[in-house]
Structure 1
Amino acid sequence: MTALNLKKSFEEADKEKAGFIKYNGLQAVLNSLDAFGACTARKVIALIGKTGKISLDELQHICESKPGTFVLPSPKIDSKLQTSTVPTSLAGVWTNELGSKMFISASSYAEGQINGLYCSKVGDAYDYYDLNGLYDTDGDETSGTLGWTVQWNNGPNGNSQSNTAWSGQRYEISGKLYIYTTWLLVSQETLENNWESTLTGKDKFCKDD
């Protein structure tokens, strides 16, 4: 994704003619992008939210990667303490049916543990979030149960005061690797409104080639 292409998308949504990008109408752009593109765009939104505008130079700085590529940021983990290896069939980038992406590190702090990053294509979860979880070490290379959680709190988007937990199983189907999960999203609510604090659903992740 180039800065000029992203700027054009924003300008088409906002009808801006002064060389800067307005905040209004940005959701339309986000909805049209893939997960990594949306993460880049959300970094732009975070900067716009502070000043009300963004210059093309600032936009170019954010869009440093080559068109069609995106460099994953490093998880906030100490690689020196990561002494266990995660199976190659599990480590890597996974994409769900909504376009959300997660990256699972190839190493972890302990056997059966996973660490990584999550980028949601839906909701108000901008940029990347740390994920932590566990997987069944008694399963074979391409199957077994696992689960992970994401606390929706990061620098670009702040604290959403919510948490999502995924629990599911890994499968190999026609040579492709999948994770079928059920998730719970819990948002902070008062005791009186606790009844409406939790959403549930299902996600299917496919491992990127």
Structure 2
Amino acid sequence: MMRKISFPLALGLASLGAFSGQKLLCQEGENTAEQRAAQEAEPRPGQSPRTQRRVASSKCCLTGCWLNDLGSKMWIGNVEADGSFSGEYQTAVSSTEKPIKLARLNGSQNKASTEQATFGFTVNWDSFSDSTTVFTGQCFMDEDKQESLQTMWLLREKAEFATDNWKATTVGTNVFTRVK
């Protein structure tokens, strides 16, 4: 059974972590649209300002806070030079009866694909569930400069016996939009 919780409840759960000394999901380390625009506006060696504007206008950045179509929220930190990144994921759905907790995510972006990057990341739900989810997707920017992450995921739950193996993996898709 999948259980959906409200976004205010999910945010409240993240806030509990903040009271215990943890950072609040999507509030620290996030680049604002203005900060990203300023970084992208810096001329690159050998490029004219006109070319620079065209390149910057099509770049999609994974770093920041994202909300998906089910109400789950994630924060992705800076993408390192090797393409690796980490962050936090607050799911809005779960099949366990245990309280949902903030989970760590770790991933990698294709370094050759920085304009509309392809990426993958893993979320291990060990803080409240015997399951792991892997996401793969691409970051897109539309003509209105709105970013979205189009993803497909596999959720693997613990199977008790090899005969239960066929029903232990679920496949789905999510679209994430940037939280401003």
In the other structure, the counterpart of 1:182 is 152
In the other structure, the counterpart of 1:71 is 24
Aligned counterpart for 2:135 among listed residues 166, 183, 187: 166
CA contact (8 A) 2:60 2:147 kept: no
Greater RCO (Cα-Cα under 8 Å, separation 6 or more): 2
Question: Does structure 1 residue 131 correspond to structure 2 residue 100?
Answer: no
Q: Show the 5 A alignment for 1:33-52.
A: 33-34=6-7, 37-41=9-13
- 1:145-174 deviations in whole A, cap 9, x for unaligned? 1010111112xx3xx111100111110012
- 1:119-149 deviations in whole A, cap 9, x for unaligned? 00111461210001111111134x0210101
CA distance in structure 1 between the aligned counterparts of 2:114 and 2:13, rounded to whole angstroms: 39
Question: Does structure 1 residue 206 correspond to structure 2 residue 180?
Answer: no
CA contact (8 A) 1:91 1:104 kept: yes
* 42 and 73 in structure 1: CA distance in 2 versus 1, 3 angstrom threshold: closer
Aligned counterpart for 2:114 among listed residues 126, 140, 148: 140
CA distance in structure 2 between the aligned counterparts of 1:98 and 1:73, rounded to whole angstroms: 17
* 195 and 175 in structure 1: CA distance in 2 versus 1, 3 angstrom threshold: same
* 63 and 98 in structure 1: CA distance in 2 versus 1, 3 angstrom threshold: same
Shift, 1:192, TM fit: 1.2
CA contact (8 A) 1:133 1:149 kept: yes
Unmatched tracts of structure 1, length 5 or more: 1-26, 44-61, 75-86
CA distance in structure 1 between the aligned counterparts of 2:65 and 2:26, rounded to whole angstroms: 13
Q: Show the 5 A alignment for 1:8-87.
A: 31=5, 33-34=6-7, 37-41=9-13, 62=16, 71-72=24-25
Unmatched tracts of structure 2, length 5 or more: 28-58
Give the RMSD, CA atoms, in angstroms.
2.9
In the other structure, the counterpart of 1:17 is none
Aligned length: 139
CA contact (8 A) 2:141 2:147 kept: yes
SS at match of 2:71: coil
Shift, 1:98, TM fit: 0.9
* 63 and 93 in structure 1: CA distance in 2 versus 1, 3 angstrom threshold: closer
TM-score (norm 1): 0.58
